[in-house]
Structure 1
Amino acid sequence: MTTPTPTPVLITGCSVCHSKDRLSLCAGCKVVKYCGVVHQREHRPSHKTICKTIVKKTAILVQERKETAFFNAHGGGLSAILGSGSLVDPLLQLAQAQLQVDTQTAVQSGLSLLLEMVDITKDPRTGPPDLVPALFLRLGRDQEAYDFMKWWVTSPAPKGLLGPSAQPYADSKDSKADVFEDVDFFKGKCPSLSFMVALTLLKLRLLIDLQALQRSAAIGENVPREILDEIRSHLTSSAVSANKAVLERDDHTPDIKNLTKQVRTMYAAVQEGNSHFWPAVLHPGPNTMAWPESWNFGNKQEMQLALRYTYKAWLETPGAIEAIEELEGGKVDESQ
């Protein structure tokens, strides 16, 4: 059995001591914080390489924005679309560099860049459906992760190379999808292995939280209210912790059984799509560092890309990898 390890979390304070007092951003990358000059200097040897990369990628994007603005101002129409399209690669390159840094600021910035790409094009070759859902989950924005995935599979793809999608993502963000609905809706629609893996994790986060709520309800009469509130404050999924109706429900058994079925369905779908993935989640080895230049459906390289895009979200979800271990061994318990 996998030995439980402390669950890592995104750094929100000083990158050395994690203090949250008197923080300042690194003047270079602007996604790492320090409590003072001493810790900034201490961290510099390990931070220097990625900091320089982010600075370089930022400069490229800034220059591209200037050229795009000029192009749009003097072109308009088709020229404006072409000009905006030239931002796609610099946005992706900078986002990928920032996402090598495990701070909340870096993940938020990387996600914003990817969503800007989404506003420009809904072309699945550009990266957002692979990267965005897991980033929402890393930031604890589970409802938004599901809303994005639901929008992606329901919004028609652009017509032709430059055509916009029928419903731009920016216009759909106020629409809240039902995170508890059956995953059968996604059959045959998931654009990538990473997408399916993120959907599995989202459903698993919901399941883990409802199991915790069920256990807290069982002991509710024997412990003070403040202890129950403390238990509930540590729920993983914001889609559960922010749902008053779910939190106050006495019996979660029906939803637990439904979510268990959904998790099993997604687990099987991922397994069928790429048999390398779940074993790699349990024993990643060097796969999280691989960056294959090409891949085919179901091969090891596809697994490596999906693992690279989603593994940190799995690590940062308490109990998630242990749950996959149980599924791999066929020991999932619906009644917990």
Structure 2
Amino acid sequence: MASPTNPSTYKGPVGPLRHRCSLCPATGSQLLRCAGCRASRYCSREHQVAHRPQHKFACNKIKKARAKLAQEDHDVRNATPDFMTPANAFETEVGRFWSIINTRDYMRARIALVRQLVLLGTLDGVQEGFDHMQDMLKLCRGDNMGVRHLVPAIMLRLDLDQECYDFMKWWVTCDPDGHYDWGDMSLPHLNIHGADVLEDPKVFLGKYSELNFLVALVLLKLKLLVDIRNLKITRKILTGRIPFELRDQIERHVIRSPLSAKLQKQTPESLVESELKLLNHARQLGCAIMEANSNFMFHLFEPDEALSDEPSSYSRGSWEEMALAMQNSYATWWETEGVLDLLNDARACAARDSESEIDDWMEDESRRHGRTAAEVLADLGVNRVWGYLNFAAENASYLGPWSERPSERHTEEILEAWARTLAEEAELENLSDDEAWSDDEDEMALFATPQLFPLTL
């Protein structure tokens, strides 16, 4: 998706998309809609006039994109038929649009309108953009324009979480042997419904995993983890203090994903099991993202450069692929409350536990690459962020003193284990060869070194 010059475009209000006044915090479906773009709303005529200097550029681009699409639509519907061109492809070629040359300008005009609507960041704009994308996939099943890469993050913004998972699973499983006939309209198309979001993500993991799908899927897993965090905190605070029926109503208001309604009904033990499963899946997917494109996680924490880029093409694993995936998904990261906080805490935990390694890194230029100690530590934090996601998840639902949060306890345990290992190694150095190679199991246990750090990359 092409980017505007200002990265702040992707950083709107945090939380679910709602009808909001573009100038003030007012919300509600009764807000006035801009007659020009039909995608921005205002609480009053005065606020619309006051916001016009900021809105004018985007509004005009959307109006021009609509006019262009209307002209291309007219041309397709009223084409002069010949051996390559049907009189009206909307009647005869649904599902095969890209194979008809005179529909391609129409499809390009439609995706151009989608881009402008989605960039506006309003509920009207995102919903209309999504509706266009759904229709485009019906018109062109083979999706020659890559619309499917944009759809999952948009679905998550609209809280269509089950539909998002079903959509991605269909695309990664629809053509296992490469023999799916995209021109055969009788074959199943986007027909997966109600798939298990908590199932093993192995179908998404492979040599040529789609970066946009990996990003959307890990976002979905993190979104559910944040809801579990909110449920756990709510129960800790309210259990025994108010009637269960009232607590149940409050719990429904602290979760965002429609899928979390099932999580809310789980027993505390089952909820913990679901949390551990989601953590494991998120870590697998996070590692797959770093393998698919090593740039992505570094720029997720500092996205402005990627959001300002305008790549026209890309290769797998490239900067351009990362920039496009960032532009496709960053608004979703930003709006989904709690997910970036979770990753930032995991990164901080990883960086803190990596401090003891900095001296060794700084002595080795082949590893340091001219970076300062602070830069090396920051990079280690990003590289190891997924290994520390469990620390951050425990911290997120902890209500005690900050100095005693779970990650602090885990770090103390790691340091104690490391100290024991060093002491054991020193003791071994003082043993005779015969003593060191005793068959006694207790003495052999001295050679066992604990895993000091979570997963590193």
- TM-score, with structure 2 as normaliser: 0.65
Letter aligned with residue 60 of structure 1: K
Letter aligned with residue 250 of structure 1: T
When structure 1 is superposed on structure 2, of 63-72 and 258-267 the one drifting more is: 63-72
When structure 1 is superposed on structure 2, of 147-156 and 160-169 the one drifting more is: 160-169
Say whether residues 1:229 and 2:249 are aligned partners: yes
Shift of 1:290: 1.4
Say whether residues 1:102 and 2:140 are aligned partners: no
Task: Give the counterpart of 2:307 among 254, 268, 288.
Answer: 288
Letter aligned with residue 15 of structure 1: S
Per-residue Cα deviation, 1:150-205 (whole angstroms, up to 9, x for no partner): 12222337967855583233xx37x2111111111222387631221011101111
Task: Give the counterpart of 1:168 among 171, 183, 189.
Answer: 189
- Distance (Å, rounded) in 2 between the aligned partners of 1:133 and 1:228: 30
Letter aligned with residue 59 of structure 2: C
Q: Alpha carbons of 1:117 and 1:268: their partners in 2 closer, same or farther (altered >3 Å)?
A: same
Shift of 1:122: 3.3
Letter aligned with residue 248 of structure 1: K
Task: Give the counterpart of 2:133 among 114, 117, 121.
Answer: 114
**Contact 1:85/1:121, CA 8 A, preserved across alignment:** no
Larger radius of gyration: 2
Letter aligned with residue 144 of structure 1: E
**Contact 1:200/1:266, CA 8 A, preserved across alignment:** yes
Task: Give the counterpart of 2:56 among 48, 54, 78.
Answer: 48
Shift of 1:234: 2.3
Aligned to 2:360: none
Specify every segment of 5 or more residues in structure 2 that has no aligned partner in the other structure, as ranges: 1-11, 80-85, 351-386, 398-457
Q: Alpha carbons of 1:135 and 1:9: their partners in 2 closer, same or farther (altered >3 Å)?
A: same
**Contact 1:153/1:189, CA 8 A, preserved across alignment:** no
Aligned to 2:24: 17
Say whether residues 1:249 and 2:306 are aligned partners: no
Shift of 1:262: 0.2
- Distance (Å, rounded) in 1 between the aligned partners of 2:105 and 2:195: 32
Say whether residues 1:305 and 2:312 are aligned partners: no
Shift of 1:286: 2.4
Q: Alpha carbons of 1:196 and 1:125: their partners in 2 closer, same or farther (altered >3 Å)?
A: farther
Task: Give the counterpart of 1:205 among 220, 223, 237.
Answer: 223
Shift of 1:267: 0.4
Task: Give the counterpart of 2:67 among 31, 34, 59.
Answer: 59
Aligned to 1:259: 278
Aligned to 2:364: none
Aligned to 2:433: none
Q: Alpha carbons of 1:229 and 1:150: their partners in 2 closer, same or farther (altered >3 Å)?
A: same
Q: Alpha carbons of 1:317 and 1:207: their partners in 2 closer, same or farther (altered >3 Å)?
A: same
Per-residue Cα deviation, 1:56-107 (whole angstroms, up to 9, x for no partner): 1111111222222234556765698426555321221100011111110100
**Contact 1:290/1:308, CA 8 A, preserved across alignment:** no
Q: Alpha carbons of 1:317 and 1:181: their partners in 2 closer, same or farther (altered >3 Å)?
A: same
Per-residue Cα deviation, 1:258-283 (whole angstroms, up to 9, x for no partner): 11100000000001111111121111
**Contact 2:283/2:389, CA 8 A, preserved across alignment:** no
Task: Give the counterpart of 1:137 among 138, 156, 165.
Answer: 156
Per-residue Cα deviation, 1:221-265 (whole angstroms, up to 9, x for no partner): 323243553243121212113x3xx32222211111111100000
Secondary structure at the residue paired with 1:180?
Answer: coil
Q: Alpha carbons of 1:293 and 1:78: their partners in 2 closer, same or farther (altered >3 Å)?
A: closer
Shift of 1:114: 1.0
Secondary structure at the residue paired with 2:53?
Answer: helix
Secondary structure at the residue paired with 1:87?
Answer: helix
Task: Give the counterpart of 2:77 among 46, 69, 85.
Answer: 69
- TM-score, with structure 1 as normaliser: 0.87
Task: Give the counterpart of 1:238 among 258, 274, 277.
Answer: 258
**Contact 1:84/1:120, CA 8 A, preserved across alignment:** no
**Contact 2:16/2:158, CA 8 A, preserved across alignment:** no
Task: Give the counterpart of 1:177 among 174, 189, 195.
Answer: 195
- Distance (Å, rounded) in 2 between the aligned partners of 1:181 and 1:66: 46
Aligned to 1:331: 388
Q: Alpha carbons of 1:288 and 1:8: their partners in 2 closer, same or farther (altered >3 Å)?
A: farther
Letter aligned with residue 176 of structure 1: G
**Contact 2:231/2:254, CA 8 A, preserved across alignment:** no
Shift of 1:322: 2.0
Percentage of identical aligned residues: 30
Aligned to 1:126: 145
- Distance (Å, rounded) in 1 between the aligned partners of 2:142 and 2:88: 26
Specify every segment of 5 or more residues in structure 1 that has no aligned partner in the other structure, as ranges: none
- Distance (Å, rounded) in 2 between the aligned partners of 1:145 and 1:161: 21
Q: Alpha carbons of 1:282 and 1:234: their partners in 2 closer, same or farther (altered >3 Å)?
A: same
Secondary structure at the residue paired with 1:62?
Answer: helix
Q: Alpha carbons of 1:64 and 1:159: their partners in 2 closer, same or farther (altered >3 Å)?
A: farther
Equivalent pairs counted in the alignment come to 326
C-alpha RMSD over aligned residues: 2.8
